[in-house]
Structure 1
Amino acid sequence: MKRLLPLTLALGLALAQGTLTLYTSEILADVNALVEAFRARNPGVQVQVFRSGTGEVVAKLRAELEAGNPQPDLLWFANEDFLKELAAKGLLRRVPPTVPGYPVQYAQGGGLYYEVRLLYNVLAVNTQRVREAPSAWRDLLKPAYRGLLAMPDPNFSGAALATVGTLSERLGFDFFARLKDLGMRIEQSNPVLQQKLARGEYGLAITTDFGVRQEAAKGAPLAVVYPRDGAILVPTPVAVTSWSKHPELAVRFLNFLLSPEAQRIFAERGYYPVMPGAPKPQGAPERVVGTRARFADAQTLDRFNALFGLRR
């Protein structure tokens, strides 16, 4: 036993140390808050973060895979279709659900990727520019909202890609053509759009709920409207890659995101936590009528780009 003790201790130290690489489209300040909390529990672990819009994150990883040198241990972005593609190629590690009470409906692919909090696409209103807020998606077609509306670029934002796919399927692609006729503008990302909405450059936005709450907490005159016909629940799961050099640490980070501490951080930063019993974000409704997102396929995205003069 004495001869085995140093080896056991060495294995434990090796597990407690290392560098994880995370590729994500999540807001960097929110990711950093979670990374700092994780490192406080795991002081020997470093976490390197590459953060950009979902489109750029996916493009970077595709290029690395083609070069035979993929880097991330963990993936966390809003493109479930790409994760399904990786899963079909055996490039995601199956992680058994070990966190007590985790809602099984959020473990996708038999444990290949996990939701860690909920993100909705909603209608956001600058209350100083819009007196009567819309209550459903079709309300955006009212002439009173002409020239007031914007949304993010679906080539950059995975959440916007979900908006285009979901509303095209539910309301027809002509819905976006009519919004274009009413002067809808396209901004690069949700954060840029939300800041312009807060400044009053727009009166309405199709955007993420948590970001609007973050701007409102700073004093911006913004309100979140969950459409009565269903806010768009955007999948943004976390996955551990099959090529990870530190899979045990990667799983530890994933499990940390489901811990009470991390779930509280999510709520404080405006997100709905995924774990039962976790606090709700301040000012958010107890329940949301949601519809699961459908990401736009390449043909629909091409039509959208042609309509708004965007380039992929």
Structure 2
Amino acid sequence: MKRLLILAGMALSVGLAQGGTLTLYTSEILADVNALVEAFRAQNPGVQVQVFRSGTGEVVAKLRAELEAGNPQPDLLWFANEDFLRELAGKGLLRRIPPTVPGYPVQYAHGGGLYYEVRLLYNVIAVNTQRVREAPTSWRDLLKPPFPGLLAMPDPNFSGAALATLGTLSQRLGFGFFEALKAGGMRIEQSNPVLQQKLARGEYGLAITTDFGVRQEVAKGAPLATVYPRDGAILVPTPIAVTSWSKNPELATRFLLFLLSPEAQRLFAERGYYPVMPGAPKPKGSPAQVVGIRARFADSETLSRFNALFGLRR
């Protein structure tokens, strides 16, 4: 997937000095980010937001290179790699934003406000109902005889959510779980969006993927269903943080807090995500309650074993 650099909106020259500019590095779906950026700009005329979007692995690699060169660019970081954000926080490279939003669940303000969850997403089992008649109900069900050759998941080198799948299920079920899936013909696609589109077309019958993306495909008419495994859907941390080197920290903080506003939380729900704020609407077609297990991202040794198993190269 090509890296994307967009400029959200064309600010008037008069408003630019008043509004300011932000740079966001993210692995979030670009269309969803654009919708949120435009809603933010409607409340903040003259603001420009530059967005670099790619898979989590590529976003982290880009920022590491900039840090090594002594020239980091983003004001805001938003991707599925809590371990890397924890690393940055330990070096004093994230700005603490006190959790002052009324009603915000304080357990999602990590490090006392160094980075925030702004909506929730889960890794689940997605099913093409035209190819699979009896859906699995647990992660272990994916090993049963009816499913070999039908399953795929994203590449954990590229997708932070897939890295969470690999780490969490390796810890809970053992790495042999993935060895058995490989023996049963599981395939690897680069990203969740690519995988979900192929699942919708019937190229696969099952996928380990993100719940919101499945709902977005269903809204387009795809014959898909979402299974939240009874042994726990994987709650993937995807927090947002303001960097310590930000040239416009007040505006960056304003963007972060906007994502917790009723308008932004409604936009999240409309696009298939669970809002993080109590009382916000739930996404259409979603269960009221989910049995979730907090993700654990795979370490480098587990990722290397996975790469060797599936013949992947970084």
Give yes or no for TM over 0.5: yes
Deviation at 1:14, TM superposition (A): 8.8
Name 2:70's counterpart in structure 1.
Answer: 68
Task: Provide the residue aligned with 1:156 in structure 2.
Answer: 158
Aligned residue in 2 for 1:5? none
Structure 1 match to 2:28: 26
CA drift at 1:16: 4.6
SS at match of 1:129: coil
Equivalent of residue 40 in structure 1, options 22, 26, 42 = 42
1:305 to 289, 304, 307: 307
Contact 1:25–1:77 (8 Å) recurs in 2: yes
Distance, in Å, in 1 between the alignment partners of 2:279 and 2:75 is 29
Q: How does 1:152-191 map to 2 (within 5 A)?
A: 152-191=154-193
Runs of 4+ more than 6 Å apart: none
**Alpha carbons of structure 1 residues 255 and 15: separation in structure 2 relative to 1, 3 Å:** farther
Give the drift of 1:98. 1.7
Note if 1:53 corresponds to 2:52. Answer: no
Give the direction of change, closer, same or farther, for the CA distance of 1:165–1:15 in structure 2 (3 Å limit).
farther
Q: Which has the larger radius of gyration?
A: 1
Following superposition, the deviation at residue 217 of structure 1 comes to: 0.4
* Equivalent residue for 2:119, pick from 117, 120, 128: 117
Tell me which of 270, 276, 282 is aligned to 1:280. Answer: 282
| Contact 1:54–1:158 (8 Å) recurs in 2 | yes
Distance 1:146 1:84 in 2: 38
CA–CA distance in 1 between the matches of 2:249 and 2:69?
A: 22
Query: Quick check: 2:167–2:295 contact (8 Å CA) kept in 1?
Result: yes
Distance 2:288 2:225 in 1: 16
Shift, 1:186, TM fit:
0.1
- What SS does the corresponding residue of 1:34 show, helix, strand or coil? helix
**Could you tell me the percent identity over the aligned residues?**
87
Q: Which segments of 5 or more consecutive residues in structure 2 lack a partner in the other structure?
A: 1-14
Aligned residues of 1:15 and 1:249 also touching (Cα < 8 A): no
1:128 is displaced (CA, Å) by 0.1
Residue aligned with 1:201, SS: coil
Aligned equivalents of 2:130, 2:66: Cα separation in 1: 46
Letter aligned with residue 78 of structure 1? A
**Would you tell me which structure has more helix in proportion to its own residues?**
1
Note the alpha carbon deviations across 1:218-249, whole angstroms, 9 max, x for none: 00000010000000000000000000000000
**What RMSD in Å do the two structures reach over aligned CA positions?**
0.9
Please report the TM-score for the alignment, with normalisation by the length of structure 2. Answer: 0.95
Q: Which residue matches 2:12?
A: none
Question: Contact (CA 8 Å) 2:77, 2:242: kept in 1 or not?
Answer: yes
Contact 2:16 2:47 in 1 (8 A): no
For 1:66 and 1:17, the matched residues in 2 are separated by 30
Cα-to-partner distance string for 1:125-182 (whole Å, 9 max, x where unaligned) = 0000000000000000001101000000000000000000000000000000000000
Q: Pick from 261, 264, 269 the counterpart of residue 262 of structure 1.
A: 264
1:130 maps to what in 2? 132
The SS at the match of 1:102 is coil
| Paired amino acid for 1:244 | S
Task: Work out whether residues 107 and 115 of structure 1, in 8 Å CA contact, stay in contact via their aligned partners in 2.
Answer: yes
Among 203, 206, 210, the alignment partner of 1:204 is 206
Give how far 1:29 is off: 0.1
Cα distance between partner residues in 1 of 2:111 and 2:59: 21
What is the deviation of 1:109? 1.1
Structure 1 CA distance for aligned equivalents of residues 18 and 157 of structure 2: 38
SS at match of 1:145: coil
Match of residue 90, structure 1, among 89, 92, 104:
92
Question: Among residues 114, 137, 141, which one is paired with 1:139 in the alignment?
Answer: 141
1:249 aligns with 2:233: no
Q: 1:49 to 1:310 in 2, by over 3 A?
A: same
Q: Which one of the candidate residues 293, 296, 299 is aligned to 1:294?
A: 296
CA-CA distance at 1:15 after TM superposition: 8.7
TM-score normalised per structure 1 = 0.95
Tell me which amino acid in the other structure corresponds to 1:29: A
Q: Which runs of 5+ in 1 are unaligned?
A: 1-12
Which residue is 1:7 aligned to? none
Which residue type is aligned with residue 40 of structure 1?
A
Alpha carbons 1:15, 1:248 under 8 Å: kept: no
3-state SS of paired residue (2:146)? helix
Please say if residues 228 and 291 of structure 2, whose CA atoms lie closer than 8 Å, have aligned partners that are also in contact. yes
Matched residue of 1:224: which SS?
A: strand
In structure 1, distance between residues paired with 2:147 and 2:96 = 47
- Tell me the amino acid that sits aligned with residue 244 of structure 2: S
